[in-house]
């Protein structure tokens, strides 16, 4: 049985449209949440796992909306290979291939992204795939890039998500402290919308048969 780990509620809603019978767990974009989510999926009987959702770009040529079916995950200085058969189920023949870096913390700065890319050559980074890769069962990673590798994330990104959804008090508090980030937040919102449309179109064109 396939289990899916996603970061946010919006991502979970999307994948449930295409895998209505698969159990889905949320990490809520925290390392502890990712580990609890994988544990729940395994206890529910999952024998293979999918890491699904958005990822932050590390490569300058992985623009927002780039759909990635990873061939490996970099986790704790190890490269863990994705399962080729399961990756094929999720459209590996039609997506960008490459590595995904796992990070337990948000990678916020363009300089950080450039450094990680130079060290790992991974295309993107997320906060779930390493936990999935380390679970000891076959796994695949299906991710879409949701930001620009060359830009810093606005400060509100750190405080505007809670329990897998937008947290308005955290967003408003950050805007009060850093009002000049409004333009960057608008840009990031547009990039997230591009990513959402790209992943929806990809799944419609390549519906998983898991």
The reported pLDDT for the residue numbered 187 is 82
Average confidence (pLDDT) over 80-86: 97
Residue with tokens 């863990």: 80
The reported pLDDT for the residue numbered 184 is 76
The reported pLDDT for the residue numbered 167 is 43
The model's pLDDT over 121-171, given as tens digits with 9 standing for 90+, comes to 999 999 999 999 999 999 999 999 999 999 887 665 765 555 555 545 645
Global pTM reads 0.88
Q: What is the 3-state secondary structure (H, E, C) of the chain?
A: CEEEEECCHHHHHHHHHHCCCCCEEECCCCHHHHHHHHHHHHHCCCCEEEEEEEEEECCCCCCCCCEEECCEEEECCEEEECCHHHHHHCCHHHCECCEEEECCCCCCCHHHHHHHHHHHCCCEEECCHHHHHCCCCCEEEEEEECCCCCCCCCHHHHCCEECCEECHHHHHHHHHHCHHHHHHHHHHHHHHHHHHHHHHHHHHHCCCCC
The reported pLDDT for the residue numbered 185 is 73
Average confidence (pLDDT) over 160-187: 62
pLDDT-based confidence at residue 120 (cuts at 50, 70, 90): very high
The reported pLDDT for the residue numbered 186 is 77
Of 105 and 139, the structure prediction assigns the larger pLDDT to 139
pLDDT-based confidence at residue 82 (cuts at 50, 70, 90): very high
pLDDT above 60: residue 55: yes
Report d(CA 103, CA 160) in Å as an integer. 19
For 2-205, CATH gives 3.40.50.1580
Using a pLDDT cut of 70, give the percent of the chain over it.
Answer: 86
């Amino acid at each position: 049985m396939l289990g899916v780990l996603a970061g946010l509620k919006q991502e979970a809603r999307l994948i449930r449209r295409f895998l209505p019978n698969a159990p889905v767990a949320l990490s809520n974009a925290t390392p502890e949440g990712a580990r609890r989510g994988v544990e729940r999926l395994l206890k529910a009987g999952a024998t293979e796992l999918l890491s699904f959702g958005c990822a932050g770009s590390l490569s300058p040529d992985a623009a927002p909306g780039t759909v990635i079916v990873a061939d490996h995950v970099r986790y704790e200085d190890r490269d863990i290979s994705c399962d080729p058969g399961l990756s094929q189920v999720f459209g590996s023949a039609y997506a960008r291939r490459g590595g995904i870096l796992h990070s337990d913390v948000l990678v916020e700065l363009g300089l950080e992204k450039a450094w990680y890319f130079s060290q790992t050559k991974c295309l993107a980074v997320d906060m779930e795939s390493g936990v999935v890769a380390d679970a000891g069962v076959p796994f695949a990673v299906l991710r879409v890039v949701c930001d620009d590798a060359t830009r810093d994330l606005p400060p509100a990104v750190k405080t505007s998500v809670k329990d897998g959804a937008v947290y308005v008090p955290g967003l408003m508090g950050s805007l009060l402290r850093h009002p000049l980030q409004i333009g960057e937040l608008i840009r990031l919102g547009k990039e997230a919308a591009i990513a959402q449309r790209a992943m929806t179109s990809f799944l419609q064109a390549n519906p998983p048969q898991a």
